[in-house]
Amino acid sequence: MFSQAEREAIYDVIFKRRDVRSFLPDPIIDEVIQRVLEAAHHAPSVGFMQPWNFIIVSSAEIKERLAWAAEKERKALAIHYEDERKTKFLELKIEGIKQAPLTICVTCDSTRGGSHVLGRNSIPETDILSVACAIQNMWLAACAEGLAMGWVSFYKKNDVRDILQIPPHIDPIALISIGYTNDYPSAPILEQANWEKRRSLQNLIFYDQWGKPE
């Protein structure tokens, strides 16, 4: 059992965690990164396959190349928006790879565990869902450690594979920038930018069947 204070701390971290794009260059001590990665490694995974790997990038040259891959994709995606929406999209800061002292590429190995993994045979994408659980654990641990974290999702996988020399069968699921910041947002960045707002939870809950309210 957890004490009331412990329960409140857990929920506090969940509600305060944010996706951050601005970082200080201050280094992170190895012990802190190790604790964050241990939290990720203790995430649940289907069939206990643990499909994740973590590539820790501190090289300025490699971070520059990853930032190029993200910026290239951001410009390509801009064609999907028009007028004011396009302007707002181009004004959004989508990554802080060059600023952050570290970027961690979280990958998914769908071959881990062999051809038959309990649960994955029925729903193949559960390996990626397992990696997402690891990323969430990383995020909560980073927040608890006073670190900021940003998930970069704008890139072509093959660009990242080439830059980080990742084998073809391994999926680079996320580029995670991590570091300290003086600008930890009180609300999600996209909500602050009026891009989107948090939906009402009550409208997302059904009972017994789809679309049936309480």
Q: Per-domain residue ranges for the chain?
A: 38-195
Q: Is 205 exposed, middle or buried (0-12, 13-18, 19+ CB in 10 A)?
A: exposed
Q: Of 101, 105, 102, 124, nearest to 113 (Cα)? A: 124
CATH 3.40.109.10 given to domain 38-195? yes
Q: Average pLDDT in the 50-58 region?
A: 97
| 186-to-146, 170, 199 alpha-carbon distances in Å | 14, 35, 17
Q: What is the pLDDT of residues 108-149, one digit of tens each?
A: 999 987 777 766 778 889 999 999 999 999 999 999 999 999
Report the share of the chain in percent with pLDDT over 70.
94
Q: What is the pLDDT of residue 124?
A: 84
β 170-179/102-109 pair status: antiparallel
